[in-house]
Amino acid sequence: MGFCLYNNVAVATSFLLNERQELGINKVLIVDWDVHHGNGTQKMFWKDPRVLFFSVHRHEFGSFYPASDDGSHIMVGEGPGAGYNINVPWENGRCGDADYLAVWDHVLIPIAKEFRPDIIIISAGFDAAIGDPLGGCCVTPCGYAILLKKLMEFAQGKIVMALEGGYNLDSLANSVLACVEVLLEDKPIIGLSEAYPFQSTWRVIQSVREELCTFWSILKGELPKKLTSRKTPLIQISSSDSDVENDNNSRTISQDLEKAVQDVIQPLSELRVDAHSNDEVNTGCSSWRSELSKIDVWYASYGSNMWKSRFLCYIEGGQVEGMKNPCTGSLDKRPPKEIIWTTVPHRLFFGRDHTKTWGPGGVAFLDPESNSQDKAYMCMYRITLEQFNDVLLQENVPGYDMSSPLFDLTDLDSVMKNQYFSVEALEGGWYYNVVHMGNENGIPILTMTCTISDVENFKSGKFPSSAPAKGYVNILVRGLEEGKQLSEEAAMAYILEASTKPLL
């Protein structure tokens, strides 16, 4: 099942094992690195010990297409095929080179050494490539090249790559080119970033190893803490106070899908592979991150992020009590350099009536325009501009390709001059308006909230204004109390006033 009419890899494997036995191929390793679970291939060889099937895919606890439990790590095969079905189910998107290589080194490669395949067939979908509109992952051409190179150590290099998914022609072309160069042993592999695997990756790897160690003794024992502590949390999209309404999400996905399909059906004669574009894909994301990691800003929070533990979910990944979904964090896991509190002459209010993170109830917004009669508490975190980009993404909508920044140095200069800057790429979100709140020790103070026109929509009733739910209130109170700004009683009164006082 999937986007295919015929499962070419499964058909070829069955043919080799059952129809061409004179070739001496008795064991086949199928590696499926397509972003979707290879459920059809899994079912074909569920009880067959001659086939070691390995699928690494976005799963998100069964919610990512094809949206079933078949891709879970506990699905290991049955009968004589038990232990020969390996699923590595990512908990979220944004997985990249470091994650895939960690799975290769600590799951696939050790098992492949014991299995000793006679041939390897790769379900070579490239929809986990950076820039793909459907996959939402970040594997670079260099990453794919190294994954392939590691597999060439087996079966005397007998490898078949069957081209499958991929919905960005540039990403697809550059990734395929990198792999073909490896097959031809044409060029050395260069350009891999030094990022570490994400926290969720180590969690998944350990779960897979525990499930399979009964069948593959080489996987017994936990990975060293020294190894698993080297992690870089991911960027999660749908774990913020600013979840987009379902109709907006559906529209965004539909537009992405329509564009992806149109890209795929363009005449192949239009496809051009620029020799330099490979390097651009490899280095584009890391170059802007390197640049913005040197610039500090104050991120000023007025909502749930006032509680440090909640904010660190956006940096380190994870979730706190009351959150219904985990965050996957920033690509830069370093904690804030400083934390200070301040008050500002802006109106705090609560709007919307439901979010994926907190469930029913309103969430905090700050009126972008100041008013001397208003007072809002803000917890300010000194972070890098790179981290601010990751927080900005998590607070808004999915689907943005982070090979380029959402908010760069030019945008920073603009917001400091004009006070407001709306991030066009995130206009489907609720917090895409970056507001300059001043400076502290020469470092700009930035927050993110709704636009002035959105405030008017809240006033008119076009957007709902709702009191926050108890769980959300508790987070705000903990932030204010632990930050030594207000007592619990005073914090409750502050939130009650903000949620009941009419917007004027």
- Whether a cis peptide bond, with omega within 30° of 0, leads into 66 is yes
Adjacency order of strands within the sheet including 339-344: 339-344, 376-384, 296-301, 443-449, 433-440, 420-422
**Do 93 and 215 share a domain, yes or no?**
yes
Residue 275 is assigned to a structural domain of this protein: no
Question: Which structural domain, as residue segments, surrounds residue 488?
Answer: 285-500
In this prediction, residue 114 carries a pLDDT of 96
Picking from 183, 207, 228, the residue at the C-terminal end of a domain is 228
d(CA 388, CA 246): 26
Based on the domain organization, do 189 and 93 belong to the same domain? yes
Measured between alpha carbons, how far is 433 from 314 in angstroms, rounded to an integer?
18
Supply the pLDDT for residue 242. 54
- Whether 222 is covered by a domain: the verdict is yes
pLDDT value, residue 480: 98
The CATH number for 407's domain is: 3.10.490.10
Q: Say if residues 126 and 132 touch (Cβ distance below 8 Å).
A: yes
For residues 347 and 503, give the distance between their C-alpha atoms in angstroms, rounded to a whole number: 9
Domain check: are 219 and 293 in the same one? no
Contact (Cβ atoms closer than 8 angstroms) between residue 42 and residue 55:
yes
**SS3 state of residue 30:** strand
Other CB atoms within 10 Å distance of the CB of residue 41: 23
> Sheet harboring 28-32: ordered strands across?
85-90, 51-58, 28-32, 119-124, 159-163
Q: Coil, helix or strand for 426? A: helix
Q: 193 and 305: one domain?
A: no
Both 315 and 199 in one domain: the answer is no
Token look-up 């990756």 returns 201
In a domain, 233, yes or no: no
Q: Which two tokens stand for residue 328?
A: 């996957």
Judgement on whether residues 352 and 448 belong to the same structural domain of the protein = yes
* Same domain flag for 189 and 302: no
Give percent helix, percent strand, percent coil of the chain, each to the nearest 5.
40, 20, 40
Distance CA 197, CA 207 (A): 15
Close Cβ partners of 469 (under 8 Å, ≥ 6 residues apart)? 358, 359, 360, 361, 362
Is position 240 within any domain?
no
| Count of the separate structural domains present in the chain | 2
Beta bridge partners of residue 349, listed in sequence order = 365
**Nearest Cα residue to 26 out of 99, 147, 94, 117:** 117
The residue with tokens 């500090």 is 296
* Radius of gyration, alpha carbons of the chain: 25
**What is each CA distance from 134 to 131, 384, 392, in whole angstroms?**
9, 29, 21
Residue 139 in any domain: the answer is yes
CATH number at residue 88: 3.40.800.20
Write out the two tokens for 288: 């802007």
Q: Are residues 354 and 447 in the same domain?
A: yes
For residue 255, being part of any structural domain is answered with no
Tell whether 212 and 298 lie within a shared domain. Answer: no
Copy the structure tokens of residue 503. 């917007």
Mean pLDDT (10-residue bins), the chain, 504 residues = 76 96 96 95 96 96 87 95 97 91 96 97 96 91 94 94 91 94 78 74 95 95 83 45 43 43 41 41 65 96 97 91 83 94 97 87 96 97 96 78 86 96 87 96 97 94 92 96 97 96 90
CA distance 126 to 212: 27
User: What's the CA gap between 412 and 385, in Å, rounded?
Assistant: 9
CB atoms near residue 143 (< 10 Å)? 28
Q: Are 214 and 332 within one domain?
A: no
Is 298 found in the same domain as 211? no
Q: Is residue 443 part of a domain?
A: yes
Task: Please tell me whether residues 296 and 224 are part of one structural domain.
Answer: no
pTM tops 0.75, yes or no: no
Amino acid sitting at position 99: D
DSSP output for 185-202: T-S-------PPPPHHHH
Q: What six digits make up the tokens of 345?
A: 């002459």
Q: What is the pLDDT of residue 255?
A: 46
